Amino acid sequence: MLQRQWARSSTPGMLAPEMTRKSKAKPNGKKPASEEKKMYLEPEHTKSRITDFEFKELVVLPREIDLNEWLASNTTTFFHHINLQYSTISEFCTGETCQTMAVCNTQYYWYDERGKKVKCTAPQYVDFVMSSVQKLVTDEDMFPTKYGREFPSSFEALVKKICKYLFHVLGHIYWAHFKETLALELHGHLNTLYIHFILFTREFSLLDPKETAIMDDLTEVLCCSPGGGGDGDGASGGASGAQNHVKER
């Protein structure tokens, strides 16, 4: 089986369903996405990558590799790298600076295993995500690594759930901490990671276009431009443009 790796977090938690509700509140005191200038969309920043590799070729399922094993290996690797990317700006993501888990005009809430809505700051939300995903990728019943072990029948649905939460973390880094990422000169790493992640999830339909629509402007620039590795078909069809209200999920 392919070798897999993971990163560590601290707070235990379980992946749980989310609910969507509209609100007029403004996350973190920021202006709605339609009014906020997105620094990460500036050409001088979007062209920054750590490699010009054609990621469209990299994400394709290799011959003679089991689909579930390919999904498991890549999902675990993305978890590791997104956790690492977040750790570079974690000191700036505090309960004071990020009172909600905000991405553009959307703010996310955590729901526990009983479906109870948990009000939490962005760092708490990220910790819930990383702890839950770590628990899953180290569970032999969910992510088997030993020869002869079978993947559960619900494995693809589980991977989709993990990718959704990892997307939230990536989105928050861009939305709330791109300035710090830029100061650390790690925006090339972030862009490259985003391109790889989005193209992989597209290849295997792991993310609902409605879920990723909030970042379609960035996806269009990074994944569908020369050197982005995309197929040039534009951003996912779920985009409907920036909205003036803030959505809760």
Distance CA 53, CA 51 (A): 5
Q: Which residues contact 116 (CB under 8 A, 6 or more apart)?
A: none
Q: Is 163 annotated as a binding residue?
A: no
Q: Is 93 annotated as a binding residue?
A: yes
The three-class DSSP label of residue 159 is helix
- Answer whether 238's CB lies under 8 Å from 213's CB: yes
Distance CA 243, CA 110 (A): 23
Distance CA 35, CA 62 (A): 44
Annotated binding site: 93, 98, 172, 177
Annotated binding site for Zn(2+): 93, 98, 172, 177
